[in-house]
């Protein structure tokens, strides 16, 4: 049934004027519904109203914790007679696949429709405007030509939309009091501020069958909606007949950010290109230089010198420039130095090495929508900021709700491969402060992505025959050029499939792909040791689990460590990687033999099943390696049982824990790599000799970690903690039934909106004489960045904090509100203690006398006893607190002088004025030492509350934190100190 044009009129409601300043033609009943919706919004309680002459400035957040994007702000161009539905986002800071379960909140929370978010765009709307002019990247955003008050309004609307969950309608109401040109400025505010993502993100549409990508301009040129690939039955778009013609809406879209554009954004930041050069030492000056041929331990001149970042691994200097991947003979594939340059890649003036991560995650809670993301970080960026969100490039978000097939994945990845090939050969970027573009080269150095497939049969690296990665490439290219049946046979027999990434120079299977400590060790090996070896085999029974739960509840952790859920004592619930890592640090088991599991129990059944599997594997291995097997040996294998000596398990556990602590440290020397990996290898081999069932990732930890640490440097420089946290950030968006790439497009826009704040800050800081409104805008934006937070929880946050402390010249940061105290009015003896410390400290500067003394020395100064008393401080971004103040009690335990445990009673800052007007300053802490020194492998133990006499130490002597475990043995209350320090390896 057709409708005449008489049924359509111009609708000038708020929603339609956002699309077009003149409104949009709608049906009469739709116009009435839009008018009713506008009326409801204007009468909504708490809805702001403003006078046209005033500029509303909403209150800014002053929370101490880092803000998160609590909701995605969505809108829809579709006609609807229904009220907006709503959703609520999790406000947590971190999210992993093993995130602990959160108790259900009984209070009903209003939900918000995804379409009311300014970041949301329907599939059709993205492809409506196919033509767009190029903008001058080097020009300041147009908002900087406006009045500062107007610019401040733009910034506050943008921040509220990007971070605080403001809907499109709420933002329009905020701007309703402005002059008419700003009434529909929700999208305009981002554009005028230079943070609009339209110039950064490229939207492609895909066949919903094979995922073959198409450019936007092809949408109107395709003769048919059917895919033109052979044997593909997919659909490219749907048709909708409108009054003024047809509208083609893609069935599946893909948001893609070309890496050149993402790097161009970075290069235009002041000082960014210089920052990419900071890793260079005297021997790394750009120039003509051959790639290093040294590998392994031979690549290091000093085996005791700590490696601090990925740039210290030997792989960094072996990458070669000027190569092409070519076929050498009928099957062989090689990277060929076509022009015989023999040039080291990082010796190029601007040779950037990227690390990528590709991962899928559940994009919604309570639903089944798997979304993929591809991140890239620049390895040349100092580690102090490399893991920050604004330094991470989100290049692709793969549409859900299901993960792609190998063919679909390759079709999408060909887009990236094309760009990375071009960037390896060289491209030009505009650089801040330079009149002409600079030449850059980009190489993918590593891929850190979850767990990897493996095929190994031993834990002894000396007996390992490693495969040649070029052999795998040969079969990968054969699989590409053959029939699907033969490709599947190659996969089954050779364990390799074709990937589009195989076309990239220096990309080698098993070499470029890293073995991730987070997934393989924390989420797999540690979990397996506790759940499978200890609990399922009855080594930790119900009674022991109860006592372990009470023990874990009594622990006093450093404030920077995320707490473990109570369910971890029973091995249940969803537990995050850093919580498994914390558990292995404090896990203790009895020093005797465990009793056999009672028959007809789950533990007995699990133990029998594991022993049966171990016997089958041992029999298979024996028959494969022995030409004349004996019945006696086969009978011995059939009677093998797991060793249940808890003393041996405890020795293995302590050795394994020490090894993991060493290899996961922020800095590590080659000799410490050998030492830590040796401890891990010995403990795993011992568990194998005890006939414990081990998963294949024990093999990787025992065999491959040593080479990888030497190749790529310390583990925190390349593990996947930051990428998993990014997935958690994206996963806070709600699905709400939108598919076809709409949700993924919203995620992509939301990500880049938050990262573009850095550019906006740079523009504001460049204003010569900023107005009051500009200063306020700058403070609002800076409060949203993650890089300046003092409180850190979790592995990634602690790593970033420690890394940033390395570039902070002020290692000690004080709490904001000290108390002015007089020592004479505090506990007895405290004045004399501080006075004697200061007298010795300042002996070369002045003669200090007590307030009860008399002296004829005119240069002598009397110490009045007035001090500044702090509840807590930060040293290298670790928090230390005073036990005598409420806000410092959670951080009152610390190490001084490396591994001497103490309790901190007071933290003081003291000034003394001299005769000549100079001021002497001292910062100190009053501490009491524990009686025992914590050793490296064994925890320290002493009587509870048994401390030495108080003494005064310099704040710089504070050297770390530990876990305090109060226990009772034979009616004696004891304290156990367990080192929790991942900065060093000892």
516 has pLDDT over 90: no
711 has pLDDT over 70: yes
Percentage of residues of the chain with pLDDT beyond 90: 36
What is the pLDDT confidence band of residue 538, given thresholds at 50, 70 and 90?
confident
Distance CA(870)–CA(847), nearest Å, equals: 27
Weakest-pLDDT range from 100-114, 132-146, 193-207, 267-281: 100-114
For the stretch 639-697, pLDDT in tens is 888 888 888 888 888 899 889 889 988 899 999 999 999 999 999 999 999 988 888 87
Percentage of residues of the chain with pLDDT beyond 70: 76
Residue 806: the pLDDT is 45
Mean pLDDT within 144-151:
67
What is the pLDDT confidence band of residue 137, given thresholds at 50, 70 and 90?
low
Mapped onto helix, strand or coil, the DSSP state of residue 394 is: strand
For the chain, what is the mean pLDDT?
A: 79
For the stretch 378-403, pLDDT in tens is 999 998 888 888 899 999 999 988 89
Task: Name which of 88, 75, 160 is nearest 734 in CA terms.
Answer: 88
DSSP, residue by residue, 421-445: HHHHH-EEE--TT-SS-EEEEEEEE
Residue 803: the pLDDT is 45
- Residue predicted with more confidence, 848 or 545: 848
Check if the beta carbon of residue 270 is closer than 8 Å to that of residue 759.
no
Residue 677: the pLDDT is 93
- Residue predicted with more confidence, 844 or 39: 844
Query: Both ends of the chain: CA-CA distance in Å?
Result: 80
For the stretch 559-600, pLDDT in tens is 877 777 777 877 777 788 778 888 877 876 555 555 666 666
Residue 633: the pLDDT is 86
2 has pLDDT over 90: no
- Residue predicted with more confidence, 644 or 141: 644
What is the pLDDT confidence band of residue 455, given thresholds at 50, 70 and 90?
very low
Distance CA(259)–CA(420), nearest Å, equals: 8
Mapped onto helix, strand or coil, the DSSP state of residue 29 is: helix
pTM over 0.85: no
287 has pLDDT over 80: yes
- Residue predicted with more confidence, 712 or 87: 712
Task: Name which of 594, 206, 688 is nearest 409 in CA terms.
Answer: 206
How is residue 302 written in tokens?
């000093």
Most confident of 121-135, 272-286, 556-570, 587-601: 272-286
Residue 74: the pLDDT is 29
Check if the beta carbon of residue 745 is closer than 8 Å to that of residue 124.
no
Burial 895-909 (b: 16+ CB within 10 A, else e): bbeebbbbbbbbbbb
Distance CA(531)–CA(568), nearest Å, equals: 10
Distance CA(323)–CA(328), nearest Å, equals: 14
Residue 187: the pLDDT is 53
Distance CA(121)–CA(244), nearest Å, equals: 22
Residue 588: the pLDDT is 64
937 has pLDDT over 80: no
Element (H, E) at 11: strand 8-11
What is the pLDDT confidence band of residue 126, given thresholds at 50, 70 and 90?
low
Count of beta carbons in the 10 Å neighbourhood of residue 511: 16
Element (H, E) at 247: strand 245-250
For the stretch 742-797, pLDDT in tens is 888 888 988 888 888 877 887 788 888 888 888 888 888 877 664 444 344 444 44
For the stretch 334-381, pLDDT in tens is 999 999 999 999 999 999 999 999 999 888 776 778 899 999 999 999
39 has pLDDT over 70: no
Mean pLDDT within 814-834:
92
Weakest-pLDDT range from 48-62, 182-196, 464-478: 48-62
Would you put residue 46 in left (φ > 0), alpha (ψ -120 to 50) or beta? left
Residue 981: the pLDDT is 64
Residue 276: the pLDDT is 96
H, E, C per residue of 945-972: CCEEEEEEEEHHHEEECEEEEEEEECCE
Distance CA(275)–CA(288), nearest Å, equals: 22
What is the pLDDT confidence band of residue 149, given thresholds at 50, 70 and 90?
low
Residue 868: the pLDDT is 95
859 has pLDDT over 90: no
Residue 121: the pLDDT is 63
């Amino acid at each position: 049934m057709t409708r005449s044009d008489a049924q359509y009129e111009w609708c000038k409601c708020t929603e339609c004027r956002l699309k077009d300043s003149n409104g949009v033609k709608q049906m009469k009943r739709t116009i009435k519904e839009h008018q009713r919706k506008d009326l409801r919004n204007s009468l909504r309680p708490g809805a702001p109203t403003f006078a046209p002459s005033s500029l509303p400035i909403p209150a800014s957040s002053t929370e101490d914790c880092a803000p998160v994007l609590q909701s995605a702000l969505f809108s829809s161009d579709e006609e609807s007679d229904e009220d907006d539905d709503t959703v609520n986002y999790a406000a947590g800071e971190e999210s992993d696949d093993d995130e602990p379960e959160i108790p259900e909140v009984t209070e009903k929370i209003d939900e918000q429709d995804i379409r009311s978010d300014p970041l949301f765009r329907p599939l059709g709307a993205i492809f409506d405007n196919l033509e767009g002019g190029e903008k001058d990247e080097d020009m300041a955003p147009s908002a900087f030509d406006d009045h500062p008050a107007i610019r401040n309004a733009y910034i506050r609307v943008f921040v509220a939309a990007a971070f605080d969950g403001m809907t499109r309608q709420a933002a329009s109401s905020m701007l309703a009091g402005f002059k008419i040109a700003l009434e529909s400025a929700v999208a305009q505010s981002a554009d005028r501020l230079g943070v609009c993502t339209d110039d950064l993100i490229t939207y492609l549409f895909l066949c919903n069958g094979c995922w073959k990508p198409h450019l936007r301009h092809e949408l109107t040129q395709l003769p048919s909606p059917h895919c033109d690939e052979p044997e593909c039955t997919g659909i490219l778009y749907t048709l909708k007949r409108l009054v003024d013609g047809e509208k083609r809406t893609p069935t599946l879209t893909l948001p893609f950010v070309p890496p050149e554009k993402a790097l161009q954004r970075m290069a235009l930041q002041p000082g960014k290109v210089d920052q990419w050069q900071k890793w260079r030492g005297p021997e790394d000056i750009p120039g003509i230089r051959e790639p290093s041929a040294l590998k392994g331990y031979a690549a290091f001149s000093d085996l005791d010198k700590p490696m601090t970042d990925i740039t210290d691994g030997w792989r960094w200097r072996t990458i070669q420039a000027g190569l092409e991947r070519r076929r050498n003979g009928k099957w062989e594939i090689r990277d060929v130095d076509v022009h015989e340059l023999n040039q080291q890649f990082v010796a190029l003036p601007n040779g950037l090495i990227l690390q990528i991560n590709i991962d899928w995650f559940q994009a919604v809670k309570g639903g089944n929508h798997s979304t993929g993301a591809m991140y890239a970080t620049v390895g040349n960026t100092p580690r102090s900021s490399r893991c920050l969100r604004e330094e991470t490039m989100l290049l692709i978000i793969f549409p859900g709700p299901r993960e792609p097939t190998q063919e679909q994945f390759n079709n999408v990845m060909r887009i990236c491969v094309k760009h990375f090939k071009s960037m390896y050969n060289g491209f030009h970027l505009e650089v801040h402060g330079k009149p002409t573009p600079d030449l850059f080269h980009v190489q993918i150095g590593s891929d850190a992505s979850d767990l990897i497939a493996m095929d190994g049969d031993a834990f002894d690296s000396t007996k390992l025959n490693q495969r040649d990665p070029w052999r795998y490439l040969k079969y990968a290219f054969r699989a590409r050029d053959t029939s699907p049946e033969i490709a599947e046979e190659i996969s089954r027999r050779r364990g390799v499939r074709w990937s589009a990434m195989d076309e990239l120079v220096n990309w080698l299977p098993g070499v470029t792909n890293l073995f991730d400590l987070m997934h393989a060790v924390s989420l797999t090996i540690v979990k397996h040791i506790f759940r499978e070896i200890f609990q399922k085999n009855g080594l930790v029974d119900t009674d022991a689990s109860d006592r372990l739960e009470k023990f874990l509840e009594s622990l006093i952790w450093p404030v920077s460590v995320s707490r473990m859920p109570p369910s971890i004592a029973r091995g249940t619930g969803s537990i995050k990687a850093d919580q498994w890592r914390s558990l292995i640090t404090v896990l203790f088991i009895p020093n005797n033999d465990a009793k056999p599991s009672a028959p007809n129990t789950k533990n007995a059944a699990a133990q029998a099943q594991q022993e049966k599997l171990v016997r089958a594997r041992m029999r298979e291995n024996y028959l494969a390696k022995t030409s004349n097997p004996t019945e006696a040996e086969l009978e011995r294998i059939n009677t093998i049982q797991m060793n249940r000596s808890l003393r041996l398990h405890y020795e293995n556990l302590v050795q394994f824990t020490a090894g993991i602590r060493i290899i996961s440290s922020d800095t590590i020397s080659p000799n410490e790599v050998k030492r830590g990996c040796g401890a891990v290898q010995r403990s795993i081999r011992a568990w194998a000799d005890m006939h414990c069932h081990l998963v294949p990732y024990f093999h990787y930890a025992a065999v491959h970690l040593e080479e990888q640490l030497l190749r790529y440097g310390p583990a925190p420089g390349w593990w996947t903690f930051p990428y998993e946290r990014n997935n958690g950030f994206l996963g806070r968006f709600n699905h709400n039934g939108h598919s076809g790439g709409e949700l993924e497009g919203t995620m992509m826009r939301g990500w880049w909106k938050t990262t573009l704040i850095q550019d906006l800050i740079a523009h504001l800081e460049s204003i010569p004489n900023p107005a009051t409104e500009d200063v306020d805008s700058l403070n609002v934006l800076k409060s949203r960045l993650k890089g300046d937070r003092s409180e850190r929880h979790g592995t990634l946050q602690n790593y970033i904090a420690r890394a940033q402390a390395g570039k902070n010249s002020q290692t000690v940061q004080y709490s904001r509100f000290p108390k002015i105290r007089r020592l004479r009015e505090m506990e007895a003896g405290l004045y004399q203690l501080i006075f004697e410390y200061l007298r010795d400290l300042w002996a070369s500067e002045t003669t200090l006398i007590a307030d009860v003394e008399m002296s004829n020395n005119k240069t002598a100064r009397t110490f009045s006893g007035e001090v500044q008393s702090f509840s807590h401080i930060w040293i290298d971004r670790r928090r230390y607190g005073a036990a005598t103040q409420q806000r410092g009690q959670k951080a009152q335990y610390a190490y001084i002088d490396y591994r001497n445990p103490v309790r901190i009673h007071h933290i003081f800052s003291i000034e003394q004025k001299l005769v000549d007007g100079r001021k002497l300053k001292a910062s100190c802490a009053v501490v009491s030492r524990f009686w025992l020194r914590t050793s490296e492998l064994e925890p320290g133990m002493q009587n509870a509350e048994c401390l030495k006499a108080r003494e005064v130490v310099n704040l710089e002597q504070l050297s770390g934190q530990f876990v305090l475990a109060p226990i009772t043995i034979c009616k004696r209350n004891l304290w156990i100190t367990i080192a929790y320090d991942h900065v060093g390896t000892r």
